Structure 1
Amino acid sequence: MVAYTKPHLTHEQQLGQLVGRGLGCSDEPAAIELLKTVGYYRLSAYIYPFRELIPDNLNVGRSAPYRTDRIRDGITFDHIESLWRFDRKLRLVCLDAIETVEIGLRSRLAYVLGLRDRLGHVRRESLDADACARPIDPSGALRYRNAFEQWLAKYETLEHGARSEDYVVHHKQKYDGPLPIWIAVEFFDFGALSRLFALLTRQDQNSIARDVGVHSGVLLAAWLRDMNYIRNLCAHHARLWNRQPTYKPRKFNPAQVGPSLGHAGQLEPRHKIYVHLAVLAYLVRALDPRQNWPLTLRTLVKKFPDIPSVSPVKDMGFPLEWSDLPLWTMRST
């Protein structure tokens, strides 16, 4: 371990360091204001792709190429700011779509599960036995022995946090016993939605999935896990545009979805953001056909900033001629 000895730098010194490393800057006051607003370390993530690579022979054995501090010629502070602003808009647009998916799937989950058991979310016998029994922590360090116990703990935390909500107070004043699923879903976050969906019986999963144009509940469960990760990135203002998500989206047979999403089933690369965005667009259309969200995203991505050596195709995994695909051109009904 090496001791951390880097000194604190003023905003002027931060800019001077970036310029000294090769970043062009035509408006120093504006650049300093952005450093104050966004922060040096955060902007560094947008500068990183433009740092020069060390020679190939020094990268042997590394999982990813190592970069020097030197920034490639021709890259300016304006480029970095435009990339940061694009990424910010991308996160906000994605959050809008994720809201549609979250609310729509909450409603469908409550309807399907509640049809069999209004308390199915807290009754293990109404869920999938194998999924509920899945071990969480073989070491025993956690207090949850299985996925169902972990879910109950999550649910109880959410219910406690919602105890002062008017609809919860009204129900508890009038009725005895646990909240039915159609009330409980109102305080679910996306993680809770994803976790409970994973515990549903295969029959219930498939029923919900078919209602949104997916012929596999297992596939939809994987998408919800992935989408929860994307949602957290967006909600916590993390870099998204060239992110390599923790979860690669599951490959699928085009026959499992509608024709507009079929192209993404086996598409490579899968370690970039495009497939996640395509799935999001598909689900938004299925859940609310009146929305034109895919066209909104298409418009945003087509305005990707003009910066040397980066692009949606190269860095986000968009296929060539992507903007002509039906997924991104169909208008709402």
Structure 2
Amino acid sequence: MVDPFKKPATSITEQIALLQQRGLTINDHASLEYHLTHVGYYRLAGYWQVLQNDPVKHTFIPGTAFENVVELYNFDRELRLLLTDAIERIEVSLRSLIVNTMCWAYGPTWYSDPHHAEHAKRYDENIRSINAELERSSEDFVAHHNRKYGKSEHPPAWKTMQVLSFGTLSKVFSNIRNNLPEKKTIAQKLGLPTYTWLESWMVVISVLRNYCAHHCRICYRKFNFPPKELIRSKFPWIKNYPTGILKEHLYFQLCVVKYILDRCAPYNRFSSQLKQLITKYPSVSTGRMGFVPEWEKEDLWQ
């Protein structure tokens, strides 16, 4: 049996008093009041909770100041912006690779044909998602297609794939029949041995994308979908793998993003920008994000 929720709303003044009571050092009351007003207590709580030493009493580690919370918040915000830019490039590339490769081999509406699907049930689920996303779309090219050709058949993939969420796109790719050679070809164009790696890594990127889109904290987070390990590659990669639970932390996810980004946008500045960001916020612990010692010397990060 669950308890009824009885916590009352609190004022900014009451929130400040509670934080002081729990041991947070406040050097600049104006800054704290500003952040509580324009960022919000509950959003900031996602950051100061990792600086507390008692998950029940919510007391802070001795010496923790609100400036530490702001640094962590700003670091995470800037990291999400960096990732959003990288993932946008990856997403556009994936859409293009899937469309070009599959349309050339199986025609403009290959995704509508169940014979190209590995699992019938997933095919049905994907078609329902595709139909819903096409219906919701306000893109001019979708409306023009419907006016000219009607809705009795799906638009060609080069139109449809543009309006799908990245999550739906990854599910469509994952359910392409495994014995179709084009599925492996798409993965190899991104430097991966075969489609099983790309299926895994697309989930990783999709989850990261959703966290970034919804402004969720990504630093100091444990991820439930560790990437499939790439043991060797002809392209720059990592030699020192995160082990144990560190595989579920952010560093390994960032390695996946950087590797794929290097294939579809080879002149990107992701590595240098990430290093600059970490240098800018020295109080943020890379160890708590799963970064291995001397990670910056790995071939991938050069």
* Superposition TM-score, scaled by structure 2 size: 0.91
- Once residues 99 and 20 of structure 1 are traced to their aligned partners in structure 2, the CA distance between those partners, rounded to angstroms, is 43
Could you tell me which amino acid in structure 1 is paired with residue 215 of structure 2?
A: H
Q: Tell me, yes or no, if the aligned pair for 1:171 and 1:179 is still in contact at 8 Å.
A: yes
Matches within 5 A, 1:132-147: 132-133=119-120, 146-147=121-122
Q: Point out where structure 1 has 5 or more consecutive residues left out of the alignment.
A: 54-65, 134-145
Q: Tell me, yes or no, if the aligned pair for 1:87 and 1:241 is still in contact at 8 Å.
A: yes
Q: Tell me, yes or no, if the aligned pair for 1:260 and 1:327 is still in contact at 8 Å.
A: yes
Q: Which residue of 1 aligns with 2:124?
A: 149
Cα 1:126–1:279 change in 2 (3 A) is same
* 2:275 is aligned with 1:298: yes
Q: Point out where structure 2 has 5 or more consecutive residues left out of the alignment.
A: none
Secondary structure, in 3 states, of the residue corresponding to 1:9? coil
Which of 176, 182, 186 is matched with 1:200 structurally? 176
Could you tell me which amino acid in structure 2 is paired with residue 127 of structure 1?
A: A
Question: Size of the alignment, in residue pairs?
Answer: 295
Which of 250, 270, 282 is matched with 1:273 structurally? 250
Q: Tell me, yes or no, if the aligned pair for 2:200 and 2:228 is still in contact at 8 Å.
A: yes
Q: Tell me, yes or no, if the aligned pair for 1:100 and 1:287 is still in contact at 8 Å.
A: yes
* 2:143 is aligned with 1:169: yes
- Deviation of the 1:72 alpha carbon: 1.4
Cα 1:104–1:317 change in 2 (3 A) is same
- Once residues 223 and 300 of structure 1 are traced to their aligned partners in structure 2, the CA distance between those partners, rounded to angstroms, is 24
Identity %: 27
* 2:190 is aligned with 1:212: yes
How big is the alpha-carbon RMSD for the aligned residues of Structure 1 and Structure 2?
1.8
* Superposition TM-score, scaled by structure 1 size: 0.83
Secondary structure, in 3 states, of the residue corresponding to 2:53? strand
- Deviation of the 1:67 alpha carbon: 5.0
Mean alpha-carbon deviation: is it higher for 194-203 or for 150-159? 194-203
Question: Relative CO higher for 1 or 2, CA cutoff 8 Å, sep ≥ 6?
Answer: 2
CA deviation string 1:167-213 (max 9, x = no partner): 22333444464311112111122112111110113322210011011
- Once residues 266 and 79 of structure 1 are traced to their aligned partners in structure 2, the CA distance between those partners, rounded to angstroms, is 27
Q: Tell me, yes or no, if the aligned pair for 1:50 and 1:75 is still in contact at 8 Å.
A: yes
- Once residues 299 and 15 of structure 1 are traced to their aligned partners in structure 2, the CA distance between those partners, rounded to angstroms, is 33
Q: Which residue of 2 aligns with 1:250?
A: 228
- Deviation of the 1:298 alpha carbon: 2.3
Could you tell me which amino acid in structure 2 is paired with residue 45 of structure 1?
A: G
Q: Which residue of 1 aligns with 2:301?
A: 328
Cα 1:204–1:29 change in 2 (3 A) is same
Q: Tell me, yes or no, if the aligned pair for 2:226 and 2:248 is still in contact at 8 Å.
A: yes
Cα 1:299–1:205 change in 2 (3 A) is farther
Matches within 5 A, 1:51-130: 51-53=52-54, 66-117=55-106, 118-128=108-118
CA deviation string 1:11-41 (max 9, x = no partner): 0110111011110111112111101111111
Q: Which residue of 1 aligns with 2:28?
A: 27
Could you tell me which amino acid in structure 2 is paired with residue 49 of structure 1?
A: V
